[in-house]
Structure 1
Amino acid sequence: DDQFDASLTPTGWKQVVERGKQIRQSGLFDKVDLVVVSPMTRTLQTAAGVFGGGDVYHDDSSEPLIMVNGVGKTPYPGGTISSHGSPPFVANELCREHIGTSRADHRRDISVYKAQFPGVDFSLTKDNEDVLWRPDVSETNDEIHQRIKEFLQWLLSREEKEIAVVSHCGFL
């Protein structure tokens, strides 16, 4: 099913690589204390591609890969993405996009993401399975507004000063 938790397309990967270069050249990369990412394949790939340590995996067991090779329908052209020199990554389900009935809004089990993105902290996600997505009921505007409010409160409670959020246009 191409729509289920869709991954980046070749065009999407080109955009991610370009954005990563822009963020590094601007000096923003060095200022980021934390990357918060929606636990969906396309946002995890985007966060890894923009804020990850690059294609080269430094042989150091204390530095897990941000992303392993072969994730998604169109894998990252460089293969694996290192965590070397990158800020910490944490997945937060509160910044998922508006959860509708589309299969694209349905995430994979967290255990799958943990294997694909070992350098991402998934400890904030309580349920392995996607308990938020329902095939016949979309999230209401009141529900998403409440989730946004909870996410902003969580962000403001963090000690980090510069936090990059990788989410969805329907959320941001």
Structure 2
Amino acid sequence: MDKGIGLYPLHRCKTIHLVRHAQGVHNVAGEKDHSAYSSEDYFDAQVTPLGWQQGDHLRNHVLETQLLNKVELVIVSPLLRTIQTAVGAFGGGEDTNGADATPLMVANAGSSDRPAISGLNSPPFLAVELCRETMGDHPCDRRRSVTEYKAMFPAIDFSTIESDKDVLWKPSPRETADEVAARGVEFINW
């Protein structure tokens, strides 16, 4: 059987890689005490130093397998930890001073103590609300304003997001599994 033949011709198909965000500060706190997920201290949680290492390992894999050469678009959830993970893994590496490219991430974005990450030789990045985590109740799942994100991540396209402020997240109730699934279907259809 020819592996190039299927329901759809392979040249008309897209390969989608789904990547979960690296370890976030809220994950560490939540493992110690689940009630930490309800703390405003973890609003739009960023990745931990271990999370950055996880992103670095993913980047090394992406480069070693030459996957980066095949990536046409990186779609990110507009949350700090997901953007940090994506730019670390799929970005152009440390920003080179004087390079003529808008940085994907400015230095120390989100108090990360990380150097700027270049947009040079990286695929385009697009932020999409529909692929966010379960929303409601946990401040770690509430996003910042698009204005704040654009300052930290200048080369990411936030044009699909209709509101500067997070109008989707509600303090309660938390989204049900059916609501998350419906949003997931809407994302796939998009």
Give TM-score scaled by structure 2 length: 0.76
Instruction: Report the aligned-residue RMSD.
Output: 1.3
Asked if the contact 2:43–2:139 (Cα under 8 Å) also holds between the matched residues in 1, the reply is yes
Q: Mapping of 1:1-172 within 5 angstroms?
A: 1-57=40-96, 59-61=98-100, 63-76=101-114, 79-154=115-190
Paired AA for residue 35 in structure 1: V
Q: Across the two proteins, how many residue pairs are aligned to each other?
A: 151
**Structure with more of its chain in strand, by fraction:** 1
The structure carrying a bigger helix percent of its residues is 2
Partners of 1:43 and 1:58 lie apart in 2 by: 25
- Report the CA distance between 1:60 and its aligned residue: 4.7
What SS does structure 2 have at the residue aligned with 1:90?
strand
C-alpha contact (below 8 Å) 1:8/1:72 kept by paired residues: no
CA distance in 1, matches of 2:180, 2:93: 34
Structure having the higher Rg: 2
CA positional deviation for 1:146 = 1.3
Superposed displacement of residue 70, structure 1? 1.1
CA distance in 1, matches of 2:112, 2:74: 23
The percent of aligned pairs where both chains have the same amino acid is 44
TM-score norm. by structure 1 comes to 0.84
Consecutive unaligned residues in structure 2, runs of 5 or more: 1-39
Q: Is the 1:58–1:82 contact (alpha carbons within 8 Å) kept by the matching residues of 2?
A: no
Q: Distance in 2 between matches of 1:32 and 1:86?
A: 9
**What displacement does 1:2 show?**
3.2
Q: Give the AA of the match of 2:72.
A: D
Secondary structure of 1:36 counterpart: strand
